[in-house]
Amino acid sequence: MIPAPFDYVAPTSLDEALAALREHGDEAKILAGGQSLLPVLRMRLNAPEWIIDLGRIDSLRGIREEGDAIVIGAMTPHSVVGNDPLVAQHAGLISAAVERLADVQVRHRGTFGGALAHADPAGDLGGPARALGAVFVIAGAGGMRQVDADDFFVDLFETAIGEDEILVEVRIPKHTGWGSRYEKFVRVEHQWPICAVAATVRVEGGTVTGAGVGLTNMGSTPIRARGVEEALVGQPASAESFAAAAGRAVEGTNPPTDLNGSAEYRLHLAQVLTRRALAAAAGLGEG
Amino acid sequence: MTRINLVVDGMRVADDIEPRMLLVQYLREKLGKTGTVVGCDTSNCGACTVHLDGRSVKSCNVLAVQADGSEVTTIEGLAQNGQLHPVQEAFRECHGLQCGFCTPGMIMQSVDLLKDNPKPTEEEIRLGIEGNLCRCTGYHNIVRAVQHASGQPVAPNEVTA
Ligand SMILES: Cc1cc2nc3c(=O)[nH]c(=O)nc-3n(C[C@H](O)[C@H](O)[C@H](O)COP(=O)(O)OP(=O)(O)OC[C@H]3O[C@@H](n4cnc5c(N)ncnc54)[C@H](O)[C@@H]3O)c2cc1C
Ligand code: FES
Ligand code: FES
The verdict on domain B86-149 having CATH code 1.10.150.120 is yes
Q: How far apart are the first and last CA of chain A?
A: 45
Q: Which of B1, B17, B20, B125 has the highest number of chain A CBs within 10 A, making it the mutation to test binding with A?
A: B20
Q: Whose CA is nearest to atom 22 of ligand 1?
A: A115
pLDDT grade, residue A190 (50/70/90)?
Answer: confident
Identify the CA nearest to B138 among candidates B109, B160, B154: B160
Ligand 1 midpoint to CA A37 (Å): 7
Indicate which atom in ligand 3 lies nearest the CA of residue B39.
Answer: 3
Task: Give the span between the Cα atoms of A103 and A8, in whole angstroms.
Answer: 27
> What pLDDT, in 10s, does the model give residues A35-94?
999 999 999 999 999 999 999 999 999 999 999 999 999 999 999 999 999 999 999 999
- Position A217 pLDDT exceeds 50: yes
* Domains of chain A, residue spans: 7-53, 58-173, 179-281
B151-159 average pLDDT score: 76
Identify the CA nearest to A55 among candidates B126, B70, B101: B70
Q: Which of B42, B56, B126 has the highest number of chain A CBs within 10 A, making it the mutation to test binding with A?
A: B56
Contact B109/A105, CB-based, under 8 Å? Answer: yes
Q: Whose CA is nearest to atom 2 of ligand 3?
A: B99
Task: Give the CA diameter of chain B.
Answer: 55
Contact B46/A103, CB-based, under 8 Å? Answer: yes
Q: Whose CA is nearest to atom 33 of ligand 1?
A: A118
A259-284 average pLDDT score: 97
CATH number of A7-53: 3.30.43.10
Contact B61/A35, CB-based, under 8 Å? Answer: yes
Amino acid at residue number A286: E
pLDDT grade, residue B67 (50/70/90)?
Answer: very high
Indicate which atom in ligand 1 lies nearest the CA of residue A125.
Answer: 11
Amino acid at residue number A146: Q
Strand partners, A29: A51
Query: Which ligand approaches the C-alpha of residue B40 most closely?
Result: 2
Task: Give the span between the Cα atoms of A61 and A80, in whole angstroms.
Answer: 10
- Position B160 pLDDT exceeds 90: no
> What pLDDT, in 10s, does the model give residues B21-64?
999 999 999 999 999 999 997 999 999 999 999 999 999 999 99
Query: Which ligand approaches the C-alpha of residue B95 most closely?
Result: 3
Contact B20/A5, CB-based, under 8 Å? Answer: yes
- Position A277 pLDDT exceeds 70: yes
pTM (predicted TM-score): 0.96
CA distance A233 to chain B (A): 36
- Chain A positions touching chain B (beta carbons under 8 Å): 1-8, 10, 31, 34-35, 38-39, 41-43, 51, 53, 55, 79, 102-106, 108-109, 189-190
ipTM of the complex in this document: 0.96
Length of chain B measured in residues: 161
Pick the CATH number of A58-173 from 3.30.465.10, 3.20.20.140, 3.40.1160.10, 3.90.870.10: 3.30.465.10
Name the H helices within chain A. 14-24, 37-42, 78-82, 85-90, 92-100, 104-109, 112-118, 126-131, 149-152, 226-232, 239-246, 263-281
Contact B57/A190, CB-based, under 8 Å? Answer: no
Query: Which ligand approaches the C-alpha of residue B135 most closely?
Result: 3
Identify the CA nearest to A241 among candidates A249, A233, A232: A232
Ligand 3 midpoint to CA A243 (Å): 45
Task: Give the model's pLDDT for residue A188.
Answer: 85
Task: Give the span between the Cα atoms of B60 and B57, in whole angstroms.
Answer: 9
The verdict on domain B2-77 having CATH code 3.20.20.150 is no
Contact A105/B41, CB-based, under 8 Å? Answer: no
User: Can you say whether the dihedral through the CA atoms of A89, A136, A109, A259 is positive or negative?
Assistant: positive
Q: State if residue B23 touches ligand 3 by the CB under 6 angstroms criterion.
A: no
Task: Give the model's pLDDT for residue B41.
Answer: 79
CATH number of A179-281: 3.30.390.50
CA distance A70 to chain B (A): 25
Task: Give the model's pLDDT for residue A209.
Answer: 98
The number of angstroms, rounded, from the C-alpha of A84 to the middle of its chain's C-alpha atoms is 16
B91-119 average pLDDT score: 97
Name the H helices within A125-262. 126-131, 149-152, 226-232, 239-246
Q: Do residues A137 and A168 lie in contact, with contact meaning Cβ atoms separated by under 8 Å?
A: yes
Task: Give the model's pLDDT for residue B157.
Answer: 65
CA distances from A106 to A11, A96, B68, B86 (A): 23, 16, 19, 25
Query: Average pLDDT of chain B?
Result: 95
**DSSP per residue, A11-61:** -SSHHHHHHHHHHHGGGEEEESS-TTHHHHHHTTS---SEEEEGGG-GGG-
Task: Give the model's pLDDT for residue B55.
Answer: 98
